[in-house]
Structure 1
Amino acid sequence: MQSIGILCDSALPIQDSANCQMPDGLPSTLGLLGVGTIGSSLIRGILAPGGSLSTPPRVVLSPRGAAKAAELARDFPSHVVVAKSNQEVVDVADCVIIAVLFKQVEEVMKGLAFREGQKVVTLVAGLLPKRLQELSSPASDCVSAIPLPAVARRAGSTLLTPPRPWAQAMFGICGKCVSVESEAEFRRLLCITTLMGDFYKRQLTAQRWLSSNGVAEADAATWVGATFATFAADSSAAEADTFSKLVEEQTPGGLNEMVWKAQEADESYQSLAYSLDAVFHRLVAGAEDPSLAPAAKRLKR
């Protein structure tokens, strides 16, 4: 692995390097602890050529996730280096991004020496700013963010709390950034990201239905993907009444209305709400409650 030196443009010592900020509002040097799917997707989105970013930041990667770290260093050799240790990342970064599994957070962060003025971001679901600040003290500029994988293509969305201009600049490069002040609101909004698997499972079900009825798998996949993307495009800039209006626009007595009414009669949407209740409980309590599963809720009625 390639080792690192101090990457800030100025000749300031390490303890002052957190003052380095680019004209775009981004910290000059980003450090990533845990180079998994989400962390590497974010870095790819930030460093991708084109767009409005005047000068990409320098990025220092931890040795965790060696394969993805090596790919990023290969694809962006002018901006990415791999450190020998997590502490090396923290020592040189103006902004440290935590992107490990929730169960690994305490182990990874204990013993690391952060510094005053340093910015810290967690991409870990369930790790909120208050606890992040405790783990990274004396650093105090801490935010929680949930970026979705499409940030790698600058077509993603990110949930952020609390709103901070430098963090909004970072995630705004990669798509839409939704910022909220309240941790309680953030936790509720976070539940919606868990619908990703359900979304893909519905697409897979539609593809398999087509294929089982004589349509080539490739054609089925292309059409299903394009159709769902079209649906999403109509609601990507949703306002308070957008979804209700879109449902009302379905022709009365038509095929589209037929499907959603049949799903509603089968309690598909109520089941979805139950699943979100169960997800929220797990986020708050730290454990799943089987009695909150949709099937269990139906049995109780």
Structure 2
Amino acid sequence: MSRIGFIGTGHIAAPMVRFLAQRGHEITVSERNAKTAQALKASHAVSIAANQEVLDRSDIIFLCVRPHVASDIIQPLFFRGDHQVVSVMAGISLAALAELCAPATDLTMTIPLGYLEHGGCPLPACPDARLLKTLFAPENPVIEVAEEHAFNMHFAICAMVPGMLDLLDTGGRWLTDHTGDPDNALRYTRQVLTGFLAALPDGNAGQLGQERDALATEGTISLQMTQGLRDGGAHSTLRDTLSAIGDRLGGAT
């Protein structure tokens, strides 16, 4: 089992801590976000320490602080050359990470989501997937992404999650307006999509389009929906927003 430390103990770190602790790893978390740290100590017997002590106790370090404060928090710390470092900080390049974590050189970037602890969370890994596969697979599929620009574009796709939730919320509210039953409107709107996606087998690059076309056949309300979204500019808006996020994260093409 490994000695693993977390700098930053919030919404993204906590599911990873729970997943790794359940597999017998020795976990030390930072004091940052004391409420979450104490909850993890109570539920999974993790240790809590100051940032530098987290590094001193650990061989694998997860950096889970917000990007805009990363330099202030990480730069004062002393890393070892044998530390393995995993960053989940959007917009912090490999070059910047190398500078912050020197003399450590074993650096990996990934994008975890909160449901990781339950399995099924895809983890893009750049530039090397070996460490993440050891820690999180097979429950969570690890996708090796060798080039940093391509990895950053995965952050843009990840940002679709709150966007899709926003659309589902609009749909659920619309259904509530017509049924007067907000709880069941939310339940139905959520489950009709999550259940469908969960039932899909692993497929090829064209699978989502094939599934769409199987539903949106001539004369159906499904086709009316897909055409209405296209005619309203939803797809072009999505691509434009993804490109803007990509530019922000490192230059989308």
Q: TM-score range by the shorter chain?
A: over 0.9
Question: Using the alignment, how far apart are the partners of 1:60 and 1:178 within structure 2?
Answer: 26
Give, in angstroms, the shift of residue 166 of structure 1: 1.9
Question: Using the alignment, how far apart are the partners of 1:117 and 1:186 within structure 2?
Answer: 24
2:219 — aligned with what?
A: 253
Provide, for residues 220-255 of structure 1, a one-character-per-residue CA deviation record: whole Å limited to 9, x for no partner. 111112111023225573421112211221222211
CA contact (8 A) 1:157 1:174 kept: no
Q: Say whether 1:143 aligns with 2:117.
A: no
Provide, for residues 112-140 of structure 1, a one-character-per-residue CA deviation record: whole Å limited to 9, x for no partner. 11111210011101123332122111111
Question: Using the alignment, how far apart are the partners of 1:242 and 1:95 within structure 2?
Answer: 37
Q: Give 1:137's aligned amino acid.
A: A
Q: Say whether 1:207 aligns with 2:172.
A: yes
2:182 — aligned with what?
A: 217
Provide, for residues 51-88 of structure 1, a one-character-per-residue CA deviation record: whole Å limited to 9, x for no partner. xxxx51010011111000000000012xx1101x1100
Q: Give 2:67's aligned amino acid.
A: F
Question: Using the alignment, how far apart are the partners of 2:203 and 2:220 within structure 1?
Answer: 24
Question: Using the alignment, how far apart are the partners of 2:149 and 2:200 within structure 1?
Answer: 25
Q: Say whether 1:32 aligns with 2:6.
A: yes
Question: Using the alignment, how far apart are the partners of 2:225 and 2:151 within structure 1?
Answer: 32
Question: Using the alignment, how far apart are the partners of 1:244 and 1:29 within structure 2?
Answer: 44
Question: Using the alignment, how far apart are the partners of 1:166 and 1:106 within structure 2?
Answer: 24
Q: Say whether 1:168 aligns with 2:133.
A: yes
Q: Taking structure 1 as the reference length, what is the TM-score of the superposition?
A: 0.79
Provide, for residues 23-48 of structure 1, a one-character-per-residue CA deviation record: whole Å limited to 9, x for no partner. xxxxx111000001001121122234
Q: Taking structure 2 as the reference length, what is the TM-score of the superposition?
A: 0.93
> Which deviates more from structure 2 when the two are superposed, residues 261-270 or residues 237-246?
237-246
2:27 — aligned with what?
A: 59
1:154 — aligned with what?
A: 119
CA contact (8 A) 1:46 1:174 kept: no
For residue 272 of structure 1, the aligned residue among 238, 241, 244 is 238
Q: Percent identity?
A: 23
Q: Give 1:32's aligned amino acid.
A: F
Structure 2 SS opposite 1:64: coil
1:132 — aligned with what?
A: 97
Q: Give 1:43's aligned amino acid.
A: V
2:41 — aligned with what?
A: 73
CA contact (8 A) 1:235 1:243 kept: no
CA contact (8 A) 1:235 1:242 kept: no
Question: Using the alignment, how far apart are the partners of 2:247 and 2:201 within structure 1?
Answer: 28
Question: Using the alignment, how far apart are the partners of 2:132 and 2:44 within structure 1?
Answer: 22
Q: Give 2:21's aligned amino acid.
A: L
Q: Say whether 1:119 aligns with 2:84.
A: yes
Q: Give 2:28's aligned amino acid.
A: V
Please list, as runs of the form range in 1=range in 2, the aligned pairs for 1:236-251 lying within 5 A after superposition: 237-250=202-215, 251=217
1:292 — aligned with what?
A: none
CA contact (8 A) 1:127 1:144 kept: no
Q: Compared with structure 1, are the counterparts of its residues 279 and 238 closer, same or farther at alpha carbon in structure 2 (3 Å cutoff)?
A: farther
CA contact (8 A) 1:96 1:119 kept: yes
2:17 — aligned with what?
A: 43
Question: Using the alignment, how far apart are the partners of 2:130 and 2:211 within structure 1?
Answer: 33
Q: Say whether 1:106 aligns with 2:106.
A: no
Q: Give RMSD over aligned pairs.
A: 1.7
User: Which is greater in Rg?
Assistant: 1
In the comparison of the two structures, how many residue pairs are matched?
250
In structure 2, stretches of 5+ residues that fail to align are: none
Q: Greater helix share, 1 or 2?
A: 2
> Which deviates more from structure 2 when the two are superposed, residues 181-190 or residues 164-173?
164-173
In structure 1, stretches of 5+ residues that fail to align are: 1-21, 23-27, 49-54, 286-301
Please list, as runs of the form range in 1=range in 2, the aligned pairs for 1:77-92 lying within 5 A after superposition: 77=45, 80-83=46-49, 85-92=50-57
CA contact (8 A) 1:46 1:173 kept: no
